[in-house]
Structure 1
Amino acid sequence: MIYLDYQATTPLAPEARAAMLPLLEEGFGNPHSPHRMGRAARAAVELARDRIAAPFGAGGRLLFTSGATEALNWAIKGIADRAGPERPRIVTTAIEHATVLDTLEWLEGRGAEVIRLPVGTDGIADLDAARAAIDGRTALVAAMLVNNEIGTIQPVAELGAMARSVGAFMLCDAVQGYGRVPLPVEACDLVAISAHKIHGPKGIGALWLRDGVEPTPLLHGGGQEGGVRSGTLAPALCAGFGVAAQLAFERRETDAAYIEALWTQARAVLGEGWVLNGSTERRWHGNLNVRREGLDVARLMSELRDVAFSAGSACASGSGRPSHVLKAIGLSDAEARSSIRLGFGRYTTSEEIDRAMTLIRQAAEAQRRMVA
């Protein structure tokens, strides 16, 4: 199987796996227990926390969650609760992950005012619309750093400055960007990240909070994480996340150069007839989202069962609806349904790219001949 679905999840780094194994075996202590095994587990958790938090610099705190879904729910609901009726507005973009959009829809049903900023055909948020929307009634601005479907890099720094100018908080969904592109920490008050998008384990994420920012707790119980997030931590997951984060930042330039080469190769082998969805320049090149007129994507995926790729977000898979991201950039239903997302990274080989792109090109050309 050739794996080209890095936006959905990434292979576990061997180094992360090695860090996890001792904590799954003899080092299984509860990190919240006071005895020696508990203290050893706690030390592993805190080492991981330091490694993950390092890119954020001094100040702030990083709290572990079960994943980015929990982190984003906590940030949005917790800030909205703190703001109260005096600041009922939340501003986001039309191409956010379903976690953000569905959480905001839930809040709308409880009286929140949600503004969804449009994006251009390049897949970049409209800053003029943002200036008009972000005002003194705004509690929170929420925007992703790198879009999970088309890879476009959003103007988080500019949006954060607008939020600050009116006393609102800035939440960045950095799940697809952490460890890959520069993180505009200075513009953000809350940042959500996930381990399994950077070659770490599934089941763990984190929410970084600027000093003085404390959303209302989402989970209640023991308050194990800073008194505001309850639940027993899994030291093995924390350790795997920590090593994956350390590797991501140590290898960021090397990985980026390698992925740039794969991007160039993939586009060359695919050949003519494909249209790139979203900006070429302002995007993470580990995400190649392209369309071809008349392409039957469901058939393509059925024919190429030895190549793992997608038609969009894994979270919306099987819904039968065209991608909300592709619709937001102006594609028709037919164009959206003729689009595929190819994701590659550190462990993808040049040989795999050559083989997979050749198979995709040949299958697409065969479809076109049959229609003609």
Structure 2
Amino acid sequence: MTRPIYLDYAATTPLDPAVLAAMQPWLADKFGNPHSPHLWGYEADAAIEVARGQVAALLGAAAETVSFTGGATESVNWALKGVMTAPGQTRRRLVTLATEHSCVLETARWLESIGCALTIVGVRPDGIVDLAALDAAMGDDVALVSAMLVNNETGVIQPVADIAACAHAAGALMHCDAAQGFGKVDCTALGVDLLSLTAHKIYGPKGVGALYRRAGVALTPLLHGGGQEDGRSGTLSPALCVGLGTAAAIAGERMAIDAAHARALWDRLLGGIDVAYRVNGALTDRWFGTVNLGFPEVDPARLFSAVRDLAVSTGSACASASGRPSHVLAAMAGSVPGLRIGWGRFTTDAEIDTAAAVLTAAARRLHSRAA
């Protein structure tokens, strides 16, 4: 069976061969527990600390502000729950956006169920928050604002630095879900207090992420135990941490190259589609490696079934698996439900040309049947 062309980079990315090579010693010979007081443990701990510094460097932060987690979802849970349930927390409201990932929205709703107040601010038709509406939602009861950097379904980039300024003006902390943005766009001047990231969106392994926490930000511990990671107890995997650190270092070196490659493939794909389509979301403030394409009068579910030669999706991986409609597109007035297509470092021109031809043929065929 021929495997479809992989165009679902927003769901996950292939493991970079250099990342795999860096991980392998820690999967085999160097198996020591990084928290053990002997040479095997010291070696593993040193490798983890190098990785911590590599992640921190891509944030323009000090290494001690980065804690490793099991992924972005865990990091988001720690940030939101950690702030809202911190001892002495007197502010009881959380503010977030309607287009956030489900790990933010579901965590926020859980916090609401235990007594926190929740405000969800809408977005404009292009998927970007109206800063005036956000400012109007602020108040002296807001403890935390959470906003995604790069949207996982549309690629739209939120003005996180401006959102952070709005939060800080109200005396609130600012959290950013940067799972889709870390390693792709500059994260050194966002002005946030907390930031969540993951490895597998930047050609690293699944199962590891990190939380950046500005010095002085108090959080309730996520996991109690041996006290590792200052509130996230548990034995760290040196291999996974090294994988994230190496992926971050490579991403930093290649950021301009990868961005230029993504933009060239964006132009190639959209230029090669020869039927009417609509890009859902802003055309300029975005990551050009993700596009959500709607085709007028073509049912997205039928289109998805008609392009089996392409590994694409109808939204986020978690929503697609459950069959839920996209809450992101629902929040964007005038959007046309369609397909999420993503490409990256290892995508070729030939693959994009094939994708454009397959999408064109399928959309034409389905449109003619609907006529």
TM beyond 0.5: yes
* Equivalence for 1:142: 146
CA RMSD of aligned residues (A): 1.4
CA distance in 1, matches of 2:365, 2:126: 30
Q: Verify: 1:73 aligned to 2:77, yes or no.
A: yes
* Equivalence for 1:344: 343
Counterpart secondary structure, 1:317: helix
* Equivalence for 1:26: 29
% identical aligned pairs: 52
Gaps of 5+ in 1: none
* Equivalence for 1:129: 133
* Equivalence for 1:117: 121
Q: Verify: 1:324 aligned to 2:327, yes or no.
A: yes
For the Cα contact (< 8 Å) 2:67–2:210, is it kept in 1?
Answer: yes
Taking the TM superposition and a 5 Å limit, the aligned residue runs for 1:91-102 are 91-102=95-106
CA distance in 2, matches of 1:110, 1:184: 34
Amino acid at match of 2:77: N
Change (3 A) 1:229 1:167: same
Give the deviation of 1:331 after TM superposition.
Answer: 3.9
2:221 corresponds to which of 204, 208, 217: 217
Give the deviation of 1:129 after TM superposition.
Answer: 1.1
CA distance in 2, matches of 1:303, 1:365: 11
CA distance in 1, matches of 2:155, 2:146: 17
Write the deviation string for residues 8-35 of structure 1: whole angstroms up to 9, x where unpaired: 0001000000011111010111111111
Counterpart secondary structure, 2:73: helix
CA distance in 2, matches of 1:84, 1:223: 21
Write the deviation string for residues 160-198 of structure 1: whole angstroms up to 9, x where unpaired: 111112221100001111111121545100000000000
CA distance in 2, matches of 1:11, 1:367: 32
Amino acid at match of 1:133: A
Amino acid at match of 1:136: D
Write the deviation string for residues 81-110 of structure 1: whole angstroms up to 9, x where unpaired: 127563111111000000000001011111
Gaps of 5+ in 2: none
CA distance in 2, matches of 1:132, 1:303: 45
Write the deviation string for residues 59-87 of structure 1: whole angstroms up to 9, x where unpaired: 46100000001000000001001275631
CA distance in 1, matches of 2:321, 2:243: 31
CA distance in 1, matches of 2:47, 2:276: 51
CA distance in 2, matches of 1:215, 1:65: 14
Counterpart secondary structure, 2:196: strand
For the Cα contact (< 8 Å) 1:156–1:184, is it kept in 2?
Answer: no
Give the deviation of 1:319 after TM superposition.
Answer: 3.1
Q: Verify: 1:62 aligned to 2:66, yes or no.
A: yes
Counterpart secondary structure, 1:182: coil
* Equivalence for 1:90: 94
What is the count of residue pairs matched by the alignment? 367
Taking the TM superposition and a 5 Å limit, the aligned residue runs for 1:1-372 are 1-59=4-62, 61-82=65-86, 86-183=90-187, 185-226=189-230, 228-331=231-334, 335-336=336-337, 339-372=338-371
For the Cα contact (< 8 Å) 2:294–2:300, is it kept in 1?
Answer: no
CA distance in 1, matches of 2:334, 2:281: 10
Amino acid at match of 1:363: A
For the Cα contact (< 8 Å) 2:275–2:363, is it kept in 1?
Answer: no
Change (3 A) 1:252 1:31: same
Change (3 A) 1:117 1:70: same
CA distance in 2, matches of 1:85, 1:239: 35
Farther off after superposition, 345-354 or 311-320: 311-320
CA distance in 1, matches of 2:266, 2:106: 32
Counterpart secondary structure, 2:31: coil
Change (3 A) 1:85 1:26: closer
CA distance in 1, matches of 2:158, 2:61: 24
Amino acid at match of 2:346: Y
CA distance in 1, matches of 2:321, 2:242: 33
For the Cα contact (< 8 Å) 2:304–2:339, is it kept in 1?
Answer: no
TM-score (normalised: structure 2): 0.96
Amino acid at match of 1:28: F
CA distance in 1, matches of 2:302, 2:137: 42
